[in-house]
Structure 1
Amino acid sequence: MEKKLIIKMIKNCFKQYYSEVASLPMSSEDLEELAEQIIQIKEEQPALDLYEAVNDTVYEFLTG
């Protein structure tokens, strides 16, 4: 799975929550960790939609 695509999707998802902020409320290490989590989720659940996996993971990051 393309990690660059996942990172771009994560950034777009954060824009939904932080539309007025110019930068992401996370470090690049956190961004890489989220991407790895999403890749692992997709490997464990191949039928899960990538968009759904990204949104769920970002939501958990923000609320947890």
Structure 2
Amino acid sequence: MDEKWLKKLIRNCFLHYGHDIETFPLTNSEWYEFCQTIMLEKQKQPNLDLYEIVHDVVYDYLTK
């Protein structure tokens, strides 16, 4: 999976929830963790849409 494309999905999801990545930047380790979590979840549940997984992961991050 292309990491650059995945980061774009994550950034767009943050914007969807009203959070600007430029204002509240993520660290490199946070980006890595997001990507790894999303790819692992996609492997566990291949029938789920990637956009749904990204939204779930970002929502979990924002609500914790």
Q: TM-score if structure 1 supplies the norm length? A: 0.83
Identity score, percent? 38
1:9: which partner in 2?
A: 9
Instruction: Report the Cα distance in structure 2 between the residues aligned to 1:12 and 1:22, rounded to whole angstroms.
Output: 9
Contact 2:14 2:21 in 1 (8 A): no
Deviation at 1:18, TM superposition (A): 2.9
1:56 corresponds in structure 2 to 56
Structure 1 spans left out of the alignment, 5+ residues: none
RMSD: 1.7
Q: Normalized against structure 2, the TM-score is what?
A: 0.83
Contact 1:42–1:53, Cα closer than 8 Å, also in 2? yes
Deviation of 1:27 after TM superposition, in Å, equals 1.7
Provide the C-alpha distance between the structure 2 equivalents of 1:61 and 1:55, rounded to a whole number of angstroms: 10
Structure 1 equivalent of residue 22 of structure 2: 23
Contact 1:11 1:24 in 2 (8 A): no
Q: Distance in 2 between matches of 1:22 and 1:41?
A: 23
